[in-house]
Every structure is written in C-alpha cells, then in structure tokens.
Structure 1
C-alpha cells in the first residue's frame, strides 16, 4: 500500500491575502474605539504632567484622520484584490 505523499493544504495566495485584508477591515473599528478612548485616561491639565484639552483634541482629530485614511486604503486594496480574482469587487 504505497501512498502518495501528502501535500500540505494551503489557501491560494490571493485568497489568503483577501482574508487578511477583510480581517484588518473588521479590526479597524475596534482599534479606533480603543484609540479614541485613550484621552479619557489622561490626567487633567491642572496637574504637572497633565495633558491640555488642545492636545487631546489634536490627538482625537489625528486618530480620526488616520482611521479615515486606513479605511480608504483597505477599501482600495480589497477592491484591487477582488478585481484581480475576476470578481466585480464590493458594490
């Protein structure tokens, strides 16, 4: 009973890449919530190491801008991946 050597089962690279991109797209809102809650942990500006309201506002705006840019990049990459596979891409 000679058996053929077993080949490892792997996903095709394009399918694997698209799954990881979809995972990143699902993780983006969770990361955004965590990052936007960080200013609540900062000390008020009345203390010596406190962070002022202006710094907190700039941080929140920066996180928001990074989330928008990240979502745009992920959407673009997902669309490119879908077009490579011959699909129509997301609507």
Structure 2
C-alpha cells in the first residue's frame, strides 16, 4: 500500500506546502525581527555570570573578570546590535521595494 498523502479516515487530501520565495524571505525577516531583542537581552546578561574579581587574589588563581572588560563587552554587544538592526532595516527596505514592484499599495497590481 503506497501513501499518496490522502487522509482516508477524514476523506480529505493533504498537499505539500509550497511557499513563494518572497513570502519565505519575508517570514525569515520577521523571525529575525522577533529574535533580535531576545538575543540582545541574553547577550547583555552574560556579564552577570562572570565571577567577581577578588580584591586579594591568592597566587596562581583566577581573579575573575575586571569591570573594564565587562564594560568593553557591553559596548561591543551594543554596537553589534545596532549594526544588526541597520542590516535588518536595509533588508526590509529592499524586500519592500521588490515586494511592491513599483505599486503604491501591497495588494495593488502594476499597470
């Protein structure tokens, strides 16, 4: 017995889902838009897990992370998030130009 995608019990047919390339890319951009703040928040929380520096470290022991390194990390993450936002904005603008293809409204067809 071969499986053709028919659901014999309910009498309905299941078809393969095909999504246009434009729609697929649009969904990818929306997923990035949803994940970017979450990723940023997680990256900003990383210094909270670093060990505090010991004011009187014993010889040959790790003294923890210095505050200057944590602040440098925060500014690097902040800069990378800004650059990622700019790249996302450019990608959305290019997608919108290709999506509308010269029309004023997204649902409108070009003459």
Decide: shared fold, TM above 0.5: yes
The alignment yields a C-alpha RMSD, in angstroms, of 1.8
Q: Where do 5+ consecutive residues of structure 2 fail to align?
A: 1-13, 105-111
| Deviation (angstroms), 1:8 | 3.0
Residue 28 of structure 1 deviates from its aligned partner by 0.2
Normalised TM-score (structure 1): 0.82
2:67 alignment partner in structure 1: 53
Residues 1:41 and 2:49 aligned together: yes
Aligned pairs (5 A) from 1:2-17:
8-17=16-25
More helix by share: 1
Q: Quick check: which has more Rg, 1 or 2?
A: 2
- Unpaired runs of at least 5, structure 1: 1-5
Identify the residue that residue 85 of structure 2 maps to in structure 1: 71
Q: Report the count of equivalent residues.
A: 83
Provide the rounded CA distance (Å) in 2 between the counterparts of 1:65 and 1:44: 25
- Give the TM-score taking structure 2 as reference length: 0.68
Whole-angstrom CA distance in 1 between matches of 2:63 and 2:21:
49
- Give the deviation of 1:7 after TM superposition: 6.4
Determine the C-alpha separation between the residues in 2 that align with 1:60 and 1:44: 16
Which runs of 4 or more aligned residues in structure 1 lie more than 4 Å from their structure 2 counterparts after TM superposition?
none
Segment drifting more, 29-38 vs 46-55:
46-55
